[in-house]
Amino acid sequence: MTDLSQISTFDIRPRWLQELGDGFKRRPDTKQLFAGSYDGGNLLTREFADDEDFDLEATLKAANIVTAAEWVPQNITAAAENFITQFQRKPTRVPRVRRVNTLPQARYILLKKYEGFVTSRKQESFTARLYENTDSYPVLEAEFDLEELSETDRALVVEGAPLVWTIGYRYEGDTRKRESVIYLRRLPPWKDKEIEHAKQEADELVRDIRWK
């Protein structure tokens, strides 16, 4: 197997490298060959170019570019030849070591989330009934200035329109902001099929009920 003694740690982990496992991977853009292992946290890898220590035969066999039977220099396949040419053209890269920052730069802490519906609308305000969960009782009833909503959402404020209100802290670097976000939920419009289904269900439901 190829020498993995020169191992570096990278903090950039594109999907094609995350799938590396133990073995080899060709970088899609440059066709450069990587060897190493990815343990789910850190990528331990070595990038090969025209490295003097590079064992070409083992590399090509391991990367399934040639089989053992095919490994006769004059029989190298066109694909293998391209491959060798590409990474031989590349200058030697010095592995760079970077520290992986595990703390995200931006995060959000949710303090409260209400869901509910609009109960009435006036010219400049609207009232909504808001639930923390479906069996909340009693519930919050609040009147909001329409200006709390975006211009697009204001048009959606009608009786029964579903509403979401979140309150939380947003961190941007070392700055903490208190945030209150109110928006109208966009539910899909009725479809003809659903209405037809509702009619059938209604007919089925009331068919056997005998009223006096």
Partner 1 sequence: MTSVGNNYRTAPNPQELEISVFGPGFGECVVVHFGNGEWGIVDSCLDPDSKRPAALDYLESLGVDVEKSVRIVVASHWHDDHVDGISLVFKAAKSAIFVCTEAVQTADFNEILSAWTGTRFLSGGSGVDELHSIMVELKKRSSNTDFPPPVRASVNKLVWERKTPPNVIVKALSPSDAAVLAATARLKYLSPKNSKLRRRVPSVSPNDASVVLALQVGEHRVLLGADLEVTKDAGFGWIAVVNGFDKQQPKHQGFKIPHHGSPTAYHEEVWNQMLVVEPWAVTTPFVFGGTRLPSQADSHRILRHTSKAYLTAPPQPVKFRDPNRTVEKTVNEATLAAHFVPGRYGQVRIRKSVDAPVNALWGVELFGNALTMSDYVRDAHYSTK
**Site for partner 1, rule CB under 8 A:** 111-112, 115-117, 119-120, 125, 127, 129-131, 133-145, 148, 156, 158-162, 167, 169, 178, 180, 182, 187-190, 194-195, 198-199, 201-203, 205-206, 208-212
Three-state SS for 11-75 is CCCCHHHHCCCCEEEECCCCCCEEEEEECCCCEEEEEECCCCCCCHHHHHHHCCCCCCCCCCHHH
> Would you say 50 or 147 has its CB closer to partner 1?
147
Q: How far is the CB of 174 from partner 1 (least distance, A)?
A: 19
Q: What is the dihedral of CA 44, 45, 51, 52, to 10 degrees?
A: 40
Q: How far is the CB of 173 from partner 1 (least distance, A)?
A: 20
Nearest to 115 by CA among 151, 96, 139, 144: 139
Q: How far is the CB of 122 from partner 1 (least distance, A)?
A: 8
> Would you say 51 or 148 has its CB closer to partner 1?
148
> Would you say 71 or 131 has its CB closer to partner 1?
131
Q: How far is the CB of 189 from partner 1 (least distance, A)?
A: 5
Instruction: For 74, list phi and psi in degrees, rounded to 5.
Output: -75, -10
